[in-house]
Structure 1
Amino acid sequence: MSAAVDEIDIAIIGAGIVGIVAAAYLAEAGRKVTVFDRTGVCEETSSGNAGAFAFSDVLPLAHKGMMRNVPKWLADPLGPLTIPPAYLPKLAPWLFRFWRAGAPANYEASLAAQAGLMKLAEQEWASLMARSGTGSMLREDGSLELYEREAEFKAALPSWAARDRFGIAYRHLEKHELANYQPGLADRFTRGTFVPGWKTVSDPKDLGKAIWRHAEVSGASFVKGDVGLVRPAGDRILIQLKQGRTLFARQVLIAAGAWSHLLARQLGDVIPLETERGYNTTLPTGAFDVKRQLIFSGHGFVITPLATGLRVGGAVELGGISRAPNYARSKAMLEKARKFLPGLDTSGGREWMGFRPSLPDSLPVIGGSRSQAGVHYAFGHGHLGLTQAAATGRLVRERMLGQKSAIDLTPFSAQRF
């Protein structure tokens, strides 16, 4: 083995937003970090998300409102939630865990853990953006959640009350106030909720690449390659790329998003990760003058004004990582958006599909391997990878360097399942 070529200090598998932010934190601490990815920096799921710092989004997906809506949503093949029938048998164990996560005791524990992670995330993103010179990419316009019926609004009130416990600010709006927050809405919307602390970024891919440049300045490096094997090799961890190259690392962080559990399984950790396939269409910037992120929770999608276009997307398709995309879902959301914003120009859009790595209790895995002290995990953030990346980066740095953790990592353990 050639130490100069084949032995590295810290290997990070995955160059999505979580991986590259972790690389930045570790490189800032003086560690030699090498990031591996099959495509590039923030080129896959982290490139096409809705661009939100959703620090107020603390409720686990398996909350009561979600469970109540599931049967209605599943009845619509192009609705907010769909499961391809052929995939249902494979998905059944995950769905059972998801249902269990909605039990009151489990729900309360997940809510508290998520709120703690979000508080840290907001602090850490502010610090990281200052250090990396990316503050100009932050937009602090808040968000506007919209309701079409009074019953829909009332059904959402318990979820807002849950946020009260964590000091999350919001303001419920009457119909006549909506135009002050977003002119040009369809008349069908009867109520709204404005969240002033909700933030977005000018473009998530651009932000990720800017954070990576900061990591590079601190000494991080990138290797393009698809990791197929991770296993212990004495006091090192062997990493084998599918392209044939073999390397040895002192420590490894697996942050490969929807593919992470496949690598964790090689190390004896069976983690019930599923893939929420999300769809969107990014329209040209002049498609409509959207003032802030608009959230249509009853339909499972958002509209985000980015510097690079108007992004219409969301919804959940629980269908794994190998099925072909169903872009009819993107088109269905775009058609709804046209009805919700009369005058929206839906021409010239770019369709996209990405894989959100999701765990049944809506909490990510941030911790270590059951059997290998040098292997660490940071994946499973679901819809919140961008939001929680900076908190995860700090927690990973503390864990890998043997420092005291900013928050209790027990709820995020890979062994909790």
Structure 2
Amino acid sequence: MTNSNPSPSQEQRTHVVVVGGGMVGVATAIWSQREGNRVTLIDMGSPTDRASFGNAGVLASSSVLPVTMPGLIGKIPKMVLSRAEPIFLRWSYLPRLIPWALQYLSHASEPEVRRIAAALEPIIGNSLQDHMALSAGTDGQRHIKPCDFAILYKNRSAFEKDALGWEIRANLGFDWSEHDGASRHSYDPIFTKDLGFLSALPNHGQITDPGAYINDLRSHFETSGGTILNRKVTDITHRDGHATGVLTEDGPIKADRIAITAGAWSPLLIKKLGVKIPVEAESGYHLEFWDPSFLPRVPTLVPSKKLIFSPMKGPLRVAGAVEFGGLKNKGQDKVFDLLKSSMTEVLPGLTYSKETRWVGHRPAPTDSVPIIDELPQIKGVFLGFGHQHVGLTGSARTGQILAQLMNSKRPNIDLSPYRVSRFTDAGQRPPTTPDTIQHRECA
């Protein structure tokens, strides 16, 4: 008996090209593959370049609050000028930064914070389950650890000064336990007694080795028939308002759908299509302490330091700090010095065998909400970037949404907060010259 509905051949299936091999790109590639597509993942960088590699490893579902909280503008002079504050600026980059910064700071109000938090929750609010679903059937699942996410304050009074943020979290369905004095010490005794109040948010998670996690997912993608190319994409080809493929340094590749998930590099590629998206490359840092004499019980944020102390598989990772210096910024010793001095203050008595450093770039849109959308100007080009500090957390859900959109399925959330149209205007138009490039299929 013959099969009246034979499965499509490799050539007949929709070909999806995902540009960007970080966590959002890998999640998009895997979910697109599960939709039955033929998928090529193009990654121009080395594994350690990715923000996915250097993050704090926290599936921080409750991290819905933007940096632009009310009162930020008045704090900026001190934060930028003091070497003890976790915000750094390369002054030569300031003229280029100002237009973005003015838009960014315009969102530092209570109504905007509430709007941003409400937009982030559908993307990151169920991150532990989202990553479990993404990694199901892969070796990546071994790196996922359910746990609390702790936030550590000097005292209850300091906690209560953040009342707006906690009210917003509560309204979005997050709960927590409070630990003061002896209870705080009992929850995790390794921290300095100067930090005497702790709130613990349950139902969070941790990726205990982000680099190994993403490598395991990439391996699964390849084993399942996906293709990974280490190339630089230089442009997107299109005809009559529809994408036809990408140009790489090694030549063109034909595609039916294209997902741009290259993090802070994404706007450079989109700009070639005549669309400017105000996303700044924000440099983030981590410092790792290997063979530590003790580790925190769970990933712990210390708001006064703007740092997360995260117990990884092997080292203690201290991650955080913000620096604005563009995509070419390679980092500064003074930022690492701050991370180390903060570790010494927060974890007195910690000993370790060695320390390692990392600096990478996070994509920061002016309104702190990621872009997840099909490009209106050119059909078949889909965007998934701009997660700022929650790229790992929101990657699994973002990848799933993009895969659904590329297969003409409607995700079960309101996508209006993530539309690219909130940044574009009628004056932004793609090139109208027809695509005359003769394509070749990738191997």
Q: Give the total of aligned pairs.
A: 412
In the alignment, structure 2 segments of 5+ residues that lack a partner are 1-9, 424-443
Q: 1:52 to 1:65 in 2, by over 3 A?
A: farther
Tell me how far 1:67 sits from its aligned partner.
Answer: 4.5
Letter in 2 for 1:119: G
1:251 to 251, 257, 267: 257
Equivalent in the alignment of 2:270: 264
- Is residue 101 of structure 2 the alignment partner of residue 95 of structure 1? yes
Equivalent in the alignment of 1:189: 195
Tell me how far 1:153 sits from its aligned partner.
Answer: 2.0
SS at structure 1 position matched to 2:384: strand
2:244 to 237, 244, 247: 237
1:335 to 341, 350, 361: 341
User: What are the residue-to-residue correspondences of 1:41-52 with 2, within 5 Å?
Assistant: 43-52=49-58
- Is residue 209 of structure 2 the alignment partner of residue 203 of structure 1? yes
Tell me if the contact between 1:285 and 1:307 (Cα under 8 Å) persists in the aligned partners. Answer: no
TM-score when normalising by structure 2? 0.87
Distance, in Å, in 2 between the alignment partners of 1:335 and 1:104 is: 33
Q: 1:349 to 1:273 in 2, by over 3 A?
A: same
Equivalent in the alignment of 1:363: 369
1:62 to 63, 68, 74: 68
Tell me how far 1:217 sits from its aligned partner.
Answer: 3.0
Distance, in Å, in 1 between the alignment partners of 2:93 and 2:321 is: 17
Letter in 2 for 1:80: P
Kindly indicate which of the two structures has a greater share of residues assigned to helix: 1
SS at structure 1 position matched to 2:195: coil
- Is residue 29 of structure 2 the alignment partner of residue 23 of structure 1? yes
- Is residue 119 of structure 2 the alignment partner of residue 113 of structure 1? yes
Between 82-91 and 149-158, the greater mean CA deviation after superposition = 149-158
User: What are the residue-to-residue correspondences of 1:129-278 with 2, within 5 Å?
Assistant: 129-233=135-239, 236-241=243-248, 243-278=249-284
Letter in 2 for 1:274: E
User: What are the residue-to-residue correspondences of 1:265-304 with 2, within 5 Å?
Assistant: 265-304=271-310
Superimposed CA distance per residue, residues 207-249 of structure 1 (whole angstroms, 9 cap, x where no aligned partner): 11112222223321100111122231465434222x3322221
Distance, in Å, in 2 between the alignment partners of 1:112 and 1:95 is: 22
Letter in 1 for 2:308: V
- Is residue 380 of structure 2 the alignment partner of residue 348 of structure 1? no
Equivalent in the alignment of 1:13: 19
Distance, in Å, in 2 between the alignment partners of 1:117 and 1:73 is: 30
Tell me how far 1:144 sits from its aligned partner.
Answer: 2.0
Equivalent in the alignment of 1:378: 384
Tell me if the contact between 2:262 and 2:385 (Cα under 8 Å) persists in the aligned partners. Answer: yes
Tell me how far 1:122 sits from its aligned partner.
Answer: 4.2
The higher radius of gyration belongs to 2
Tell me if the contact between 1:169 and 1:197 (Cα under 8 Å) persists in the aligned partners. Answer: no
Distance, in Å, in 1 between the alignment partners of 2:239 and 2:47 is: 28
- RMSD, aligned CA: 2.2
SS at structure 1 position matched to 2:106: helix
Q: 1:323 to 1:151 in 2, by over 3 A?
A: same
Distance, in Å, in 1 between the alignment partners of 2:404 and 2:223 is: 21
Distance, in Å, in 2 between the alignment partners of 1:115 and 1:122 is: 13
Tell me if the contact between 1:175 and 1:189 (Cα under 8 Å) persists in the aligned partners. Answer: no
Distance, in Å, in 2 between the alignment partners of 1:40 and 1:84 is: 25
Tell me how far 1:130 sits from its aligned partner.
Answer: 2.7
Equivalent in the alignment of 2:427: none
Tell me if the contact between 1:269 and 1:415 (Cα under 8 Å) persists in the aligned partners. Answer: no
Equivalent in the alignment of 2:440: none
Distance, in Å, in 2 between the alignment partners of 1:103 and 1:289 is: 37
Distance, in Å, in 2 between the alignment partners of 1:321 and 1:177 is: 44
Q: 1:283 to 1:101 in 2, by over 3 A?
A: same
Tell me how far 1:113 sits from its aligned partner.
Answer: 1.2
Tell me how far 1:347 sits from its aligned partner.
Answer: 4.6
Distance, in Å, in 1 between the alignment partners of 2:133 and 2:268 is: 33
Q: State percent identity of aligned pairs.
A: 27
SS at structure 1 position matched to 2:161: helix
Between 224-233 and 360-369, the greater mean CA deviation after superposition = 224-233
Distance, in Å, in 2 between the alignment partners of 1:294 and 1:236 is: 44
SS at structure 1 position matched to 2:304: coil
SS at structure 1 position matched to 2:285: strand
Distance, in Å, in 2 between the alignment partners of 1:361 and 1:28 is: 32
Distance, in Å, in 1 between the alignment partners of 2:201 and 2:330 is: 36
In the alignment, structure 1 segments of 5+ residues that lack a partner are none
Tell me if the contact between 1:268 and 1:370 (Cα under 8 Å) persists in the aligned partners. Answer: no
Distance, in Å, in 2 between the alignment partners of 1:290 and 1:107 is: 30
Q: 1:90 to 1:199 in 2, by over 3 A?
A: same
Distance, in Å, in 2 between the alignment partners of 1:334 and 1:63 is: 26
Tell me how far 1:66 sits from its aligned partner.
Answer: 4.3
Letter in 2 for 1:237: T
Distance, in Å, in 1 between the alignment partners of 2:382 and 2:301 is: 35
Equivalent in the alignment of 2:435: none
Between 293-302 and 104-113, the greater mean CA deviation after superposition = 104-113
Distance, in Å, in 2 between the alignment partners of 1:45 and 1:369 is: 24
Tell me if the contact between 2:61 and 2:126 (Cα under 8 Å) persists in the aligned partners. Answer: no
Tell me how far 1:332 sits from its aligned partner.
Answer: 1.4
